[in-house]
Structure 1
């Protein structure tokens, strides 16, 4: 799909044709990163609250292996944004010796304010680009921790935040640009979304495939369906089990999970369409692309974000 199509990944939203900018945002094809903030997990990282019990037992002897299998992205926030990524999948954890909040994936990654400030800086210089922050999991969180994270998000992005609407189909890139809104925050905790500032879980579902091989993932995708009135996150990821990691303990997620997805799953996604799904929930071809997330989004010179962004140009065909 990317053959012959020149895509400026840094500015791809602002350079879409006007008709696509007037398409409902929930019907656009948007590339995202899975466990987006794991890029700075390193030898100095420590175990986080979401680390499984078996990881805690093996940590002293297999630290290097655990680090390799906890890291799902190689490039930082700035690089992801300039590579076209517009959706960030985020996990959060508190830490007992500080009141700061951290990104996590089994191991502590960076502080949330550092990551959010990087995103804000990008938005400052790219006024027509829009980013989705998916606040997905919260570990060792109390009510005051949710309130603190809420304050950080609101203080960082302020009037740029696009609040949820009853009719999500009314939100387009052009409508967002007119209102100078550049951030959609999906907060998957009912206590915080009651504020009315952030989107609810059901407004952008993100079902988990839980597959360890590409055949299982493709079968799951082929049977997936979405509502025509909500966004949808397609997780193009493999989920390694403990047994899977033990069998491939010398490997890592990039080689054993991301590479097979690029080689065998991405070509299938290339045949999908953006746009509204059919009204009948189980009609043929019901799955239409919105957000698609992957591990190691820089693989093969950014082939993943290029392929997802290119799907939007199918909307120009009169017969779609």
Structure 2
């Protein structure tokens, strides 16, 4: 018997119809279309596809070096601009397109720019200014009331305290009542409860300045350990040996991180072919061995349950990555009958 906070999950096998697969989900509305039982499962115990370095599609040959650029890039970029860009871009489609193929978590890295009052997305190079992508997310949740989006503001480069204050005011202004405030008991947050409250956007703000603002979640509510692996075998081993605490969310990073040596040996290639494609071919099938749900007692389950799972180039092969992650949610039905008893 498993526990979801005030709810009880009773183990019981169910035979699913052969049409109950993510291949038949409308990816644009996959949360809305989940089986009714799953809408009472805590959001932190559902499988949610996300994109890694989500906004790098905005990097172009006109992009300039950003504050997070490695020092050596200042010497190499003028000579090897094309190669560096090929190994910097991790997504091919924009924010709206990612939403339409089912992505519900965005990994955001932001930077200031000298003599500018705006903020920009970054990954060594400046991508686009933040207002258009964030407005696309606001427009999407407005037109898709059954969907929930997680914005994880991971890193801030060149920020002063006043920049954080101004950015947080901007986020409060654009998302307003759509924001899902952090709570003591995250297990009470479900798709059904959010639908009743008309709340659809989680903002994780990974900076100490957020502690006084209840509308945003703190880092410890959604741990996101970095694998730092450049081989698929090492990445699989990392993902299969993660430990996860109950009662909070979690991010599995299904991404390879190329080292300078790795890139030099593949100088004429790109991150998509040498990192994203191997993950799709060799790591994604291993992820099907995982399942969503609450962490169980030690020894009961071999692997930490998934919540958010992120990848590079999420559009590969007709969006096979988000389709695969979404389908993991059906394991909750295949292996259990969700019978809830409200103890409150």
TM-score, with structure 2 as normaliser: 0.90
Residue 208 of structure 1 is matched in structure 2 by 226
The answer to whether the 8 A contact 1:123-1:182 is kept is yes
C-alpha distance in 2 between matches for 1:193 and 1:295 = 30
Equivalent of 1:154, from 172, 176, 189? 172
What SS is found at the alignment partner of 1:134? strand
1:253 aligned residue: 271
Structure 2 counterparts to residues 239-318 of structure 1, below 5 A: 239-280=257-298, 284-318=301-335
> For residues 99 and 74 of structure 1, what CA distance do their matches in structure 2 show?
27
- C-alpha change, 1:222 and 1:170, in structure 2 (3 Å) is same
Deviates more, 1:1-10 or 1:54-63: 1-10
State the secondary structure of the residue aligned to 2:327.
Answer: helix
Aligned to 1:72: 90
Q: Distance in 1 between matches of 2:58 and 2:128?
A: 7
Q: Is the 8 A contact 1:89 1:134 kept in 2?
A: yes
Distance 1:217 1:74, change over 3 A: same
CA drift at 1:286: 4.1
Question: Which one is further off, 269-278 or 82-91?
Answer: 269-278
C-alpha distance 157-27 of structure 1, shift in aligned 2 (>3 A): same
Q: Is the CA contact 2:23–2:323 (under 8 Å) kept in the aligned structure 1? A: no
Over the aligned positions, Cα root-mean-square deviation in angstroms equals 1.5
* Structure 1: runs of 5+ lacking an equivalent: none
The answer to which structure, 1 or 2, has the higher relative contact order (CA under 8 A, 6+ apart) is 2
> Which structure 2 residues correspond to residues 181-192 of structure 1 after superposition, within 5 A?
181-192=199-210
> Equivalent residues in 2 for 1:49-198 (5 A)?
49-198=67-216
Cα distance in 1 for residues equivalent to 2:52 and 2:279:
13
Cα pair 1:187 1:198 within 8 Å, conserved: yes
**Inter-CA distance 152–75: structure 2 relative to 1 (3 Å threshold):** same
What is the aligned partner in structure 1 of residue 47 from structure 2? 29
Q: CA deviation at 1:279?
A: 3.6
Change (3 A) 1:2 1:77: farther
Runs of 4+, deviation exceeding 3 Å: 1-5
Matched positions, count: 319
Deviation at 1:180, TM superposition (A): 0.3
**Contact 2:22–2:324 (Cα < 8 Å) also in 1:** no
- Using the TM superposition, give the Cα deviation of residue 317 of structure 1 relative to its aligned residue in structure 2, in angstroms: 2.2
